[in-house]
Amino acid sequence: MSKKSRDILYGIVLILFSIANIIYANVSIQQEVVSYTLARPDRYMQIWLVILLILSVIMIIRAIRKNDDTAGKPILTKMAIFTVLIFFAFLLVMPKLGYEVSAFIFLAAVSIVYGLNMGKPKKTKKEMIIYIIKMLVFAGLMTFGTSMLFRKVLGVRLPKFKLW
């Protein structure tokens, strides 16, 4: 697919996504919580979606003006698909496994897979074990840090483990 066609296609998809979610924000998000218009929960979502809409239009205009028909790098690679799938899995299991368990699994999986696919030479078995242990420690520290930030500093109620 040429760069021009790819950018136009993705621009149209992002425009449709933005419009659909702006409508969603207007229809389904509770709007009577706060009397100040800018403080309503739907406003920030709408602001970001309008920015995305504007940037999508700019991307389409830029693609048409550049008229670059050379072959572009595909955006939907194996790693991109992996990232999207594991992110949706993270969101689906979070209500049952809780934030800490699901975030740890998500961060560990993403860190390990991305690290192994960075184009570095193959690791020996010992190096692989050390690398996986480092990524598990990283995932644990990041999960603990974000949990403390959200719970203690920001006062957010995160999902708790509910399997049994």
The 10s digit of each residue's pLDDT in 119-153 is 667 778 898 899 899 999 999 999 999 999 888 88
Write the burial class of residue 107 (CB in 10 Å: 0-12 exposed, 13-18 middle, 19+ buried): buried
The pTM assigned to this predicted structure is 0.63
Residues 82 and 145 placed together within one structural domain of the fold: yes
Residues 92 and 148 placed together within one structural domain of the fold: yes
Question: Based on the structure, what is the number of domains in the chain?
Answer: 2
- How many Cβ atoms sit within 10 Å of the Cβ of residue 97? 19
Q: CB of 46 within 8 A of CB of 19?
A: no
Domain ranges, residue 16: 3-66
The 10s digit of each residue's pLDDT in 24-82 is 877 776 656 556 666 666 677 888 899 999 999 999 999 999 988 888 777 778 888 99
The residue among 152, 159, 145, 164 whose CA lies nearest residue 99 is: 159
Q: Does 158 reside within a domain?
A: no
